[in-house]
Structure 1
Amino acid sequence: MKIGQKYAARKAANEDNMVPLINVVFLMLVFFMVAGQIQKADPIAVMPPESINDHRAETDPSVAIFVGMNGELYVEDQPYQVNDVKAYLEKQFAAAADKQAFWVQIKADGAIPLEELRPIFEQIRQAGLTKVSLATQLERGQP
């Protein structure tokens, strides 16, 4: 009956070899869940206006401007005053390697009236930039 003992020993050895593999897979899963970042978070919560246009830009914006409901204005991740936006944009445009691909994205809350966004658009125009995009979200179907 030595055959039965060898088979039992071999079966137990195979089960023991699976434990380290399971541990490694579990550790890799935890590592990618903790270390992986899908998308950079916006500095303030913004709910963009709805649009029927589902066209997305092929590249990321060179500069992102965020406008909140309470008049908060962030350029990239830093709070700004409206009058300081022009100088920042001119500096970033001068430092850009590809000036043809330079563009600005405004991500404003959908409840903000257009009149409150006009000063920001004016600052962008005064900086000499013409490629500007207003971020929107795809309109949801009516129930």
Structure 2
Amino acid sequence: MVPPPSTSGKTLMSRVEDALLPLINLVFLLLMFFIVAGQLADEPLPELPSTGASQSQQPYADLLVTASGDWQVAGETLTRETLPGRLPGAQSGQPLKVAAAGAISMAQLETLFRVLASSGYTDIILLTEPSS
């Protein structure tokens, strides 16, 4: 006579639950992967000056923040009051591209972002040069 299989005192339902736990974990991890992968943008970032063939070529940006902290649009230095009027409309559906010098502090960028947020800009792309 064959002895019954050893169940270590567990019921059939608890053994099934124990067997499904790794499968549930795997499905959760795959779900998280596809959520993150789906958020990646399809459009590439513009070429930065240090990576291009010509060092004098600048990437296209709606707003330039110079090393001294000045805000420039089309070569014209602007103030907090004049900046929103010179930028493209916040409701255009396109993100605002801001090119910032590497020497800019986060506090200076935070001031700029507060001005942009109060003007209705919610989608901003920050362009910087990679450190070498």
TM-score range, shorter chain: 0.3 to 0.5
TM-score, length-normalised on structure 1?
0.44
**Which of the pair has the greater relative contact order for Cα pairs under 8 Å at 6+ separation?**
1
TM-score, length-scaled by structure 2 = 0.48
More helix by share: 1
